[in-house]
Chains A and B, each alone.
Chain A
Amino acid sequence: DAGVTQSPTHLIKTRGQQVTLRCSPKSGHDTVSWYQQALGQGPQFIFQYYEEEERQRGNFPDRFSGHQFPNYSSELNVNALLLGDSALYLCASSPGAGYTFGSGTRLTVV
């Protein structure tokens, strides 16, 4: 049984560009959450999707947007990239007793 899969694993973008990250949840999970983990920090909640709608949102600007598809997979889009957006982006799926996390996408903005 595959867990949470994320793609790509690594990505380098130029400041001002746009990026799309992808996530396939664990089989049977219908809720997807995205977290940003800056170097040396704990993960910070970006938003959560359920039934193709954004259910909750953390303190992130509108440059961060997402989407959930009927098969429960999800995308995270970041527009107008800033150097400070460089981080590990983690996708997590639920429900369950605690999330199941993917291995993340390492985004570097130069």
Chain B
Amino acid sequence: AQSVTQPDIHITVSEGASLELRCNYSYGATPYLFWYVQSPGQGLQLLLKYFSGDTLVQGIKGFEAEFKRSQSSFNLRKPSVHWSDAAEYFCAVGNFGNEKLTFGTGTRLTIIP
């Protein structure tokens, strides 16, 4: 069965500092990997996705993620965070054709001035 682990429940970062959110997955086949962001009371917005090819993926809002098959990881990074990045971040895994996504429990990001 597929699963996603986000080991950090809550992360606090100073504005302008770099950010890395961790994601580890378990999946029997070649995974499709996603990062979504959710502001309070809102739906999910897709930040970026990995299907195949280049393992470093660029997304919206200056985010990027790197797929590392040997570590079963898909960590999200941003070189310099902005106060507007404060939100909940979810990593998810699925596969083409299945299209069912399995989500992690999320990481809440707080930005301090």
Question: In the bound complex, what is the Cα–Cα distance between A90 and B41 (angstroms)?
Answer: 11
Q: Does B75 contact A (CB under 8 A)?
A: no
What mask results when residues 84 to 110 of chain B are scored 1 for a CB within 8 Å of chain A, else 0? 000000101000001111111110000
How many A residues touch the partner, as a band? 20 to 34
| Choice from A48, A100, A102 contacting B99 with Cβ under 8 Å | A48
Query: Do B44 and A58 have beta carbons less than 8 Å apart?
Result: no
| Choice from B43, B46, B102, B104 contacting A90 with Cβ under 8 Å | B43
Query: Do B105 and A90 have beta carbons less than 8 Å apart?
Result: no
For the complex formed, measure the closest distance between the CB of A54 and the CB atoms of chain B, giving whole angstroms. 12
Query: Do A43 and B90 have beta carbons less than 8 Å apart?
Result: yes
For the complex formed, measure the closest distance between the CB of B44 and the CB atoms of chain A, giving whole angstroms. 4
Question: In the bound complex, what is the Cα–Cα distance between A98 and B43 (angstroms)?
Answer: 14
Shortest Cβ distance from B6 into A: residue: A42
| Choice from A42, A56, A95, A97 contacting B104 with Cβ under 8 Å | A42
Interface centre among B51, B90, B100 (most CB of A within 10 A): B100
Complex interface residues of chain B between 32 and 73 (CB less than 8 A to chain A): 32, 34, 36, 41-46, 49, 51
Shortest Cβ distance from A44 into B: residue: B103
**Pair count A-B, CB < 8 A:** 55
Query: Do A101 and B102 have beta carbons less than 8 Å apart?
Result: no
Question: In the bound complex, what is the Cα–Cα distance between A104 and B51 (angstroms)?
Answer: 26
Shortest Cβ distance from A94 into B: residue: B99
For the complex formed, measure the closest distance between the CB of B89 and the CB atoms of chain A, giving whole angstroms. 10
Query: Do B42 and A103 have beta carbons less than 8 Å apart?
Result: yes
The answer to whether residues A41 and B46 also contact, given A48-B100, A94-B99, A98-B34 and a CB cut-off of 8 A, is no
Question: A40: which B residues are within 8 A, CB to CB?
Answer: 105-106
Query: Do B102 and A45 have beta carbons less than 8 Å apart?
Result: yes
Question: In the bound complex, what is the Cα–Cα distance between A29 and B97 (angstroms)?
Answer: 14
Given A45-B100, A45-B101, A90-B44: 10 more A-B contacts, CB < 8 Å: A31-B99, A33-B100, A42-B106, A43-B103, A45-B102, A94-B99, A101-B36, A103-B43, A104-B42, A106-B41
Can you name 17 A-B pairs with beta carbons within 8 Å? A4-B43, A41-B105, A41-B106, A42-B90, A43-B90, A45-B100, A48-B99, A48-B100, A56-B98, A58-B100, A90-B44, A97-B49, A101-B36, A101-B43, A101-B45, A103-B43, A104-B43
